[in-house]
């Protein structure tokens, strides 16, 4: 298809509660939306690496500049018939996975709309409902922490992730497991541990966890393989997986038994599907990760989570908890009458099923190009 035009929006969506990042208080989440047009039809993508280069080397303002100055000019006015075509157009540029992912996602949405198919159908999804998980970090008191987790399970979340680091580790997990003896729980080390913490990681085998996510630094795939040999709990890689090539190395080394695939981190839906397929062939299940983002990016993630090898509940950040107003409508959440589990039913409309609210997009835009 001919890519006739691309429009960029750097937006700051007001948060319900301020958050601190890198010592600064933030009142809005910055993100970047892309509108890709072919003829009369448009598709939307989103890059949401955060306001600052803390979770990764990218941040929203940098993504906007990279797209505006380099990536968009390489794609606009060209024929793009696959995600691989976009990758070839962007081959001269290194890294910038979130920026790439916004273009890739917009192409997939555009393609699905042109074919008048929901995105999850075009991606080869095998389910129409997605189970959801949520995340908890350290709070002022363990009682508050346990009460928040109880609220999540009562709301129907299928699993919870507990952030795990030296000083907030075994005692915390022990308290949570005693309070919730049978619920699905896993921990996430965010790369804060090293091989000197193997004894601590081995102690986690006592708690029946679903997995230990990213215990070591992102570049230590050999160390992860060594840890996986020494513990019975499955390891999951997240920040380590930034490309198809990295995923293939991790599979070859047996560095994990799960992968968390965040479309923005790996460069878009196209590489995420390729990694999903490689993991499926290797017998390594996956789940879809996400960063805080608007409903545009959330819908892309949910569509991806419909694929067969995404067997663990997907990350989900309820926009009603995050934002004063979201840029688009989130899919409705429902509770199963039999098991009480909360799920999101996928949509039947073409593409991601919605477009951003034009008034809110204009109101919250910091820059446009």
Tell me the residue ranges of DSSP E strands in 106-244: 129-136, 159-163, 185-188, 212-213, 235-237
Residue 97's pLDDT is 97
The model carries a pTM of 0.95
Query: Residue 132 in contact with residue 158, Cβ under 8 Å?
Result: yes
Q: Is the pLDDT of residue 166 over 90?
A: no
Is the domain of 128 the same as that of 269?
Answer: yes
Check residue 318 and give its pLDDT.
Answer: 83
Q: In whole angstroms, what is the distance from residue 4 CA to residue 43 CA?
A: 12
Q: Are residues 309 and 186 in the same domain?
A: yes
The answer to whether residues 339 and 358 belong to one domain is no
Q: What is the CATH number of the domain that holds 358?
A: 3.30.390.10
Does 233 share its domain with 266?
A: yes
Note whether 140 and 277 are same-domain residues. yes
- Is the domain of 173 the same as that of 311? yes
pLDDT at 213: 98
Whether residue 150 is found in the same domain as residue 281? yes
Shared-domain flag, residues 28 and 163: no
What is the C-alpha R_g of the chain? 20
What's the rounded mean pLDDT across residues 194-211? 96
pLDDT in tens, 35-78: 999 999 999 999 999 999 988 899 999 999 999 999 999 999 99
pLDDT value of position 55: 85
Among 47, 39, 35, 40, which residue's Cα sits nearest to residue 107? 35
Q: What average pLDDT does this structure show over 168-184?
A: 96
Residues 192 and 261 in one domain: yes
d(CA 83, CA 269): 8
Domains: count for the chain:
2
Q: Are residues 339 and 362 in the same domain?
A: no
- Token representation of residue 117: 């198919």
Q: What CATH number is attached to the domain comprising 248?
A: 3.20.20.120
- Give the pLDDT confidence score for residue 298 in this predicted structure: 96
Is the confidence at residue 211, as pLDDT, over 90? yes
What 3-state DSSP class applies to 60?
helix
Residue range 3-35, pLDDT digits in tens: 999 999 999 999 998 887 777 888 999 999 999
Q: Give the percent of the chain with pLDDT over 70.
A: 100
Whether residue 319 is predicted with pLDDT greater than 90 in this model: the reply is no
pLDDT tens-digit map of 230-273: 999 999 999 999 999 999 999 999 999 999 999 999 999 999 99
Q: How confident is the model at residue 321 (pLDDT cuts 50, 70, 90)?
A: confident
CA nearest to 326, candidates 354, 362, 365, 295 = 295
User: Residue 283's pLDDT is what?
Assistant: 98
The CA distances from residue 58 to 88, 113, 220, 265, 340, in Å, are 21, 29, 21, 10, 38
Q: Do 107 and 255 reside in the same domain of the chain? A: no
Domain residues for the domain of 15 are 5-116+354-368
The tens digit of pLDDT for each residue in 341-365 reads 999 999 999 999 999 999 999 999 9
Q: Do 202 and 220 lie in a common domain?
A: yes
């Amino acid at each position: 298809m001919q890519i006739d035009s691309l429009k960029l929006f750097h937006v700051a969506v007001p948060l319900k509660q301020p958050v601190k990042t890198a010592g600064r208080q933030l009142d809005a989440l910055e993100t970047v939306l892309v509108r890709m047009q072919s003829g009369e039809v448009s598709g939307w993508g989103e890059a949401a690496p955060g306001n600052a280069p803390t979770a990764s080397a990218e941040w929203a303002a940098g993504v906007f500049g990279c797209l505006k100055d380099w990536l968009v000019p390489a794609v606009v006015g060209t024929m793009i018939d696959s995600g691989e075509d976009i990758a070839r157009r962007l081959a001269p540029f290194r890294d910038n996975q979130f920026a790439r992912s916004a273009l890739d996602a917009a192409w997939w949405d555009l393609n699905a709309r042109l074919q008048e198919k929901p995105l999850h159908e075009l991606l080869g999804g095998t389910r129409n409902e997605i189970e959801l998980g949520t995340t908890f970090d350290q709070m002022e008191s363990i009682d508050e922490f346990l009460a928040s987790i109880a609220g999540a399970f009562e709301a129907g979340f299928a699993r919870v992730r507990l952030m795990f680091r030296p000083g907030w580790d075994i005692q915390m997990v022990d308290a949570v497991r005693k309070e919730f003896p049978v619920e699905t729980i896993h921990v996430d080390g965010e790369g804060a541990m090293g091989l000197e913490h193997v004894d601590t990681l081995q102690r986690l085998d006592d708690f029946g966890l679903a997995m230990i996510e990213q215990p070591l630094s992102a570049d230590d795939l050999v160390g992860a393989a060594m840890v996986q040999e020494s513990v019975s709990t499955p390891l999951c890689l997240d920040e380590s997986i930034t490309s198809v090539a990295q995923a293939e190395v991790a599979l070859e080394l047996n560095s994990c038994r799960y992968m968390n695939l965040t479309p923005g981190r790996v460069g878009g839906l196209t590489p995420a599907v390729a990694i999903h397929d490689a993991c499926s062939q290797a017998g390594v299940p996956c789940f879809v990760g996400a960063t805080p983002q608007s409903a545009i990016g959330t819908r892309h993630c949910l569509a991806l989570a419909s694929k067969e090898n995404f067997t663990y509940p997907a990350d989900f950040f309820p926009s009603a908890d995050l934002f004063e107003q979201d840029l688009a409508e989130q899919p409705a959440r429902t509770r199963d009458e039999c098991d009480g589990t909360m799920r999101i039913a996928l949509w039947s409309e073409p593409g991601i099923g919605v477009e951003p609210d034009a008034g809110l997009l204009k109101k919250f835009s910091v820059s446009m190009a």
